[in-house]
Amino acid sequence: MQEFKIAIVGAENVGKSSIMNALFGKHVSMVSEVAGTTKMPIKKYWGKFKIGRVKEEPEFAKLIFVDLGGLYAKSDSQSPIMTPKILEKTFKEINEADMILHIIDGTVGLLRSSEKLHHILKFRYQKPIIVVINKCDLLNAEEKEQLREYVERRLNNSPIFVSAKTLEGIPDLINAIVKYLKR
């Protein structure tokens, strides 16, 4: 059976593991307020989904998510750095992924480092990317709109707003993934 791997990437502490847990509806990856919590990739099988368009011959694929450690700090503050071995494993997962969820902390906004990562993933790896702005429970409508416009302008990508805390937007994210994979 075909497999689709989706890597969850972004800066430290943006809520990657929280989104992983929200997608699974249970605790699969450790969450904490300390930056650098996730170290080794956490790979989990999510389930099967239908990809075939022919009703009489349903075709299925396996969906796998990989939660990764933060690739850069969300500010200039010091942060724990991944060991070379973990960094290598992290990039192996990104390399093998069919799609990337690039998570951005809505309370921090789009950093230069996020922009750089986005362009590397897009042009160097040629991966499809869904930009996910997390912690939207902490944003008001105006802040969301400003961030949407900014991300659209800088990354040429329409972000999906979610809150791993309240689960707002998580169904939209799942729909966006499935819609993309069915193409």
- Measure the CA–CA gap between 103 and 89, rounded to whole angstroms: 19
CB of 65 to Mg ion, least distance (A): 12
Nearer to ligand GTP, 49 or 91 (CB): 91
Near ligand GTP in 29-48, by CB under 6 A: 31-33, 35-38
Among 102, 118, 127, 135, the residue binding ligand GTP under the rule CB under 6 A is 135
Binding flags for ligand GTP, 76-115, as an x/- string (CB under 6 A):
----------------------------------------
Near Mg ion in 116-175, by CB under 5 A: none
Q: Is 137 among the residues that bind ligand GTP (CB under 6 A)?
A: yes
- Measure the CA–CA gap between 97 and 79, rounded to whole angstroms: 26
β-bridge pairing 99-105 and 60-67: unpaired
Binding segment for ligand GTP (CB under 6 A), chosen from 26-34, 125-133, 144-152, 175-183, is 26-34
159 binds, among Mg ion, ligand GTP, none (CB under 5 to 8 A by kind): none
β-bridge pairing 2-10 and 42-50: unpaired
β-bridge pairing 60-67 and 129-134: unpaired
Q: DSSP for 73-103, please give it.
A: -SSSS------HHHHHHHHHHHHH-SEEEEE
Name the β-bridge partners of 133. Answer: 104, 161
Among 21, 38, 114, 134, the residue binding Mg ion under the rule CB under 5 A is 38
